[in-house]
Amino acid sequence: MNGYLFLAAFLLIGPLAGGLLEGLSRIISARLQGRIGPPILQPFYDAAKLFAKSDSQVSRLQIVYISTFLFFTVFACAIFFSGGDILLFFFCLTLANIFMVLAGYSSASPFSHIGAERELIQLLAYEPMFILSFVGIYILTGSFAIRDILAYPDMIFWKLPGCLLGMIPVICIKLQKSPFDLSASHHPHQEIVKGITSDFSAKTLGLMEIAHWYKYSYLTAFIALFFGGQWWAGILGVGLVYLAVIFIDNAFGRFTYRQTLMSVWAITLVFGFGNILVLYVVKFLLPALRGAGA
């Protein structure tokens, strides 16, 4: 019963926390640029304004796809926060993104189509890093169940620092931050049109914003997973990662899709695969060699 109550509380509190993190991110970005910035509750004001507008859809399927995108995003969060399988969590997120791509393709606008194609490129760029992180966690803990991962006696970060560092560009992509905001962006100066969301309006964009807040929630929880039950280390780690993401967002212009693929894959190879290779050698290969020598 306590697990269900915790899950219900998250489904209500998760998007609120995500919206506050988005508002805080805007304030820090503004201060880095020498501006005062909007109030921390600005994301909620924006969403309320979107839901108050009259809806105009270019396709009847658009709202269906976006609603399904939000549903699977929330369902993935429910799996994560109920201590379920981390692979099932990942597959639900991928399925959610596929429905967002379909929403982009449901419009006849070439800008939406280009945005949908860019979203697929982003999936191709960041999913290997996600998978390598799960593999590293499994090697350490022997389980894909989040409740078992949280029961691991030591902080995962000490043995998988490369995987956590490799997740930083993934977070930039998921939160539509520069230089990896190919398919859409929260920065109006980046492009005249908004890519995959060019033909979204009113309630459709409002649902997208709610899903964006849920992204903040599960990404925060995933970062904290590297620090186990050490809540103080988790808060510090989450804070440092988000500060790095905000700094990168303000320090770089948008990459091309080739630059995005090459840079993210290079980071995945060096930090993700390299970390797992070292972990495998230390955990399995060296003990086997010592045993053979004895």
Provide CB contacts within 8 A for 228, sequence distance 6+.
Answer: 149, 150, 152, 154, 155, 156, 234
- Which token pair is 188? 């109006």
Question: Residue 292 domain-assigned?
Answer: no
Residue 127 pLDDT greater than 60, yes or no: yes
Question: Residue 294 domain-assigned?
Answer: no
Total domain count, the chain: 1
Phi first, then psi: give them for residue 290, nearest 5 degrees. Answer: -65, -40
pLDDT: is 127 or 109 the higher one? 127
Residue 193 has a pLDDT of: 59
Question: Residue 255 domain-assigned?
Answer: yes
Which range is least confidently modeled, 1-5, 36-40, 118-122? 1-5
* pLDDT, tens only, 243-268: 999 999 988 888 888 999 999 999 99
Question: Residue 132 domain-assigned?
Answer: yes
CA atoms within 13 A on the CB side of 273: 8
**Model confidence pTM above 0.75:** yes
Confidence of residue 20 (pLDDT cuts 50, 70, 90): very high
Confidence of residue 288 (pLDDT cuts 50, 70, 90): low
Residue 36 pLDDT greater than 90, yes or no: no
Question: Residue 177 domain-assigned?
Answer: yes
Other C-beta atoms lying within 10 Å of the C-beta of residue 110:
10
Question: Residue 293 domain-assigned?
Answer: no
* pLDDT, tens only, 185-228: 665 544 445 678 877 888 888 898 999 999 999 999 999 999 98
Q: How far apart are CA 76 and CA 81, in angstroms?
A: 9
DSSP string, the chain: -HHHHHHHHHHHHHHHHHHHHHHHHHHHHHHHTT-----TTHHHHHHHHHHHSPP--S-HHHHHHHHHHHHHHHHHHHHHHTT-BHHHHHHHHHHHHHHHHHHHHTS--HHHHHHHHHHHHHHHHHHHHHHHHHHHHHHHHS--BHHHHHT-SS-GGGT-HHHHHHHHHHHHHHTT-TTS--S--S-TTS-SS-GGGTT--HHHHHHHHHHHHHHHHHHHHHHHHTTTT-HHHHHHHHHHHHHHHHHHHHH-PPPPHHHHHHHHHHHIIIIIIHHHHHHHIIIIIHHHHHHHH-
Instruction: Give the pLDDT mean for 53-78.
Output: 86
Question: Residue 40 domain-assigned?
Answer: yes
The parent domain of residue 235 ranges over 2-286
pLDDT: is 241 or 55 the higher one? 241
Report CA 229 to chain centroid distance, whole Å. 21
Report CA 186 to chain centroid distance, whole Å. 15
pLDDT: is 287 or 197 the higher one? 197
* Among 125, 147, 216, residue whose Cα is nearest residue 175: 216
Q: How far apart, in Å, are the Cα atoms of 249 and each of 9, 25, 109?
A: 31, 10, 28
* Among 69, 184, 204, residue whose Cα is nearest residue 115: 184
